[in-house]
Amino acid sequence: MFSMLRVSIALACSFLATSAFSAVARNSFDNMDVKTSYSELLQEKNARNDSLLPAFDGDKAFAEVLRLNPNFWSLGSAINKEESLVTKLHVNLIFVDGTREEPFCELDKAAKNTADEWNVRIGADFVSAGSNTVHIHVQQCLDYVRDQLGYAIKKGDKIIHVPPKETLDRIKKSEIPDAIDIDLQQTLLKAHEDVNLTGKCPKDIEAYIILMNVYNQVKKMKMDYVVINDQLNKQRNGGSRVQSCAFSREWNKRYQESASFECDIDNDRCTYRQENDGDTEWSINYEKDRFEYINKKFLFFNRNPMSIHKGGTMMDLRLIRLSTTLYLEAYINLKGEPVTLGLIVVPGDKTIKDYEDDRPSNEEARELTE
């Protein structure tokens, strides 16, 4: 029994060690070089050495730190299992006299620095009492450079550039969904900021070309019908301008028109008003999470196309929130596949919390009903 326990513990330890090693391997800089040198003050100190105070051997001390910290040259942030770090790292490591000068971390201004290639100068203190924190100083330095430049990862056959922290913060503030790949997030951020700046549909056609890839990553997101009505309904959004946007690859042309998506949530119906295409009526199918076209009748005659659920051509509609200003407009066939994709935009920076704050509580709603 005890031998079986020892085997189980050994296997568990082996698994943990393997997992830790693979994580370090993913985060490590495989393409790197390190040059070492001494600061002027440390050179001066070494020049005065005697038998009681031998000269400091920086390379020897550095080798010992590397031995004790196998993940010394790695990013602190986790990288997914299917990804690996491919940024090139060039380091000029300078040994400093920590009793007379401070450690430092800076980008080499004489070299080109991008997410693909970092050139860093690091002043490391192996001399003073704080020498046992060299690995922490270097880790903080790498994290600082990551935040300034971003970094490059390989995912399958594709190289993806993770942007600097400032860009990541703007993506977060714009409420672009985490489910979307970072490269697509950056394209959406550009479109989001363009809409807020101009008050019009995005000018860059890339914002439309990526929509199929975006849809495939957000198609499982549930629609929030109340927020849709609050934000896209001109009668409720404080007069903010709403526009429907599309791009035709066939004609290489962008289209835009004023719009308003107005819902009667209590009766599960919505009216989509478009400047050029007119008004269309839609029912809310909560179970299938979609809007279904309602055919208008005059007496006993059908005046408009029929829904695909009644043998007609009018497809279902989904509106998925991509940011505080962008909605993905997707017309869906019977198989649940997107056939036509576009954007609905509403300039402004209202967050989900803003809409939640405006909603009445259940108790308030009951009081209003009574």
68 and 200 housed in the same domain: no
Among left, alpha and beta (phi > 0; psi -120 to 50; other), residue 336 is left
What integer pLDDT is reported at residue 255 of this predicted model? 92
Q: Residue 35: give the domain boundaries.
A: 2-158
Average pLDDT over residues 176-190: 97
Does 202 lie in the same domain as 100?
Answer: no
Domain check: are 152 and 172 in the same one? Answer: no
How much is the pLDDT for 50? 66
Local confidence band at 360 (pLDDT 50, 70, 90 cut-offs): very low
Predicted pLDDT at 340? 95
pLDDT, one tens digit per residue, over 305-326 is: 889 998 899 999 999 999 999 9
The string of pLDDT tens digits covering residues 258-277 is 999 999 999 999 999 999 98
What separation in angstroms does the CA of 199 have from each of 82, 194, 242? 39, 8, 9
What span, in angstroms and rounded, lies between the C-alpha atoms of 274 and 244? 8
127 and 191, same domain (yes or no): no
pLDDT value, residue 242: 95
* Residue where one domain finishes, among candidates 158, 184, 203: 158
pLDDT of residue 247: 93
Are 211 and 325 in a shared domain?
A: yes
* Residue 49, pLDDT above cutoff 70: no
Q: Report yes or no: 164 and 147 within 8 Å, Cβ to Cβ.
A: yes
Asked if residue 66 and residue 190 are part of one domain, the reply reads no
Helix (H, G, I), strand (E, B) or coil at 112: coil
Burial class (CB in 10 A: 0-12, 13-18, 19+), 270: buried
As given in the structure block, the two tokens for residue 221 are 């997101």
Let me know whether 216 and 285 are in one domain. Answer: yes
pLDDT grade, residue 295 (50/70/90)? Answer: confident
Q: What is the mean pLDDT of residues 100-106?
A: 96
**pLDDT above 90 for 296:** no
Statement to judge: residues 24 and 133 lie in one domain: yes
DSSP state of 222: P
pLDDT digits (tens, 9 = 90+) for 193-211: 999 999 999 999 999 999 9
State how many domains the chain has.
2
- 131 and 191 both lie in a single domain: no
52 and 109 assigned to the same domain: yes
Rounded mean pLDDT of the chain? 86
When pLDDT is cut at 50, 70 and 90, the band that residue 6 belongs to is very low
Q: Are residues 216 and 327 in the same domain?
A: yes
Nearest one of 63, 74, 67 to 22, comparing CA atoms? 74
How does pLDDT run across 7-19, given as a tens digit for each residue?
Answer: 333 333 333 333 3
pLDDT at position 264 is 96
With 0-12 / 13-18 / 19 or more C-beta atoms within 10 angstroms meaning exposed / middle / buried, residue 27 is buried
> What's the rounded mean pLDDT across residues 77-104?
90
Region 162-182: what's the mean pLDDT?
97
Last residue within a domain, chosen from 128, 158, 188 = 158
Which of 158, 180, 211 lies at the terminal end of a domain, its last residue?
158
Geometric angle at alpha carbon 113, from 27 and 37, rounded to 5°: 80
Are residue 249 and residue 334 in the same domain, yes or no?
yes
